[in-house]
Structure 1
């Protein structure tokens, strides 16, 4: 099982987020192949559509830029669903886009956002999911 640990974690995270999305009135659709979108959320009541890329942490990548992709990640039990391009703007304010990781590799991740970042992310807090919830 250990060699599949990351795949299992991704399935658990996807299912937790989809559960939360269903509670918010969304339906979830899985693409046939992963071209940068892990799943699509659609809420029929108001027509809101979110192309979602699921990550284990706060993350930006040039390959998602300008594609209306929303990054989903969790911090201390709370899920966030934020527009990728707004995360790039946040990354610029925090100096992340001046790092070698961003400049040379075109990506940057932050495993544990600071308190200030968490406050900036507040509008994108999607909610909390308990896997044990019945």
Structure 2
């Protein structure tokens, strides 16, 4: 059998989500985590990352970009996304507290979600410590 790489852009949305999950899970393995996909979101999480120390686990929501949502507040959720090949994993509420005043479009509060596909220099700086 000869394996051929796929073109990410040609995958449907669910296949892209699974592709991204496996890329992220591989990266988290470097930090001692085993990742488990959840068939149904649990407390807002798409997957759990369990550390080899036996006591640390992270509830992760997988996104396609830097994102915030009112529904993730106070749920101890981490958001994970890939940008230009870089994997970011950040605590939703902590980073939201840092950037909320920097989001110029205030309608997001009533709409419930905000995201951006292009990371500004300022947002990259804030996320530096969350780059895996």
Asked whether the equivalents of residues 63 and 81 of structure 2 are also in contact (C-alpha less than 8 Å), the reply is yes
Distance 2:123 2:10 in 1: 33
Structure with the greater relative contact order (CA < 8 A, sep ≥ 6): 1 or 2?
1
Which residue in 2 is equivalent to 1:91?
99
Corresponding residue of 2:113? 107
Matches within 5 A, 1:1-134: 5-35=12-42, 36-45=44-53, 47-96=55-104, 99-100=106-107, 102-126=108-132
- Count of residue pairs the alignment pairs up: 123
Unaligned runs of 5+ in 1: 127-134
Unmatched segments (≥5 aa) in structure 2: 1-8
TM-score, normalising length from structure 1?
Answer: 0.82
TM-score normalised to the size of structure 2?
0.84
Shift of 1:93: 3.1
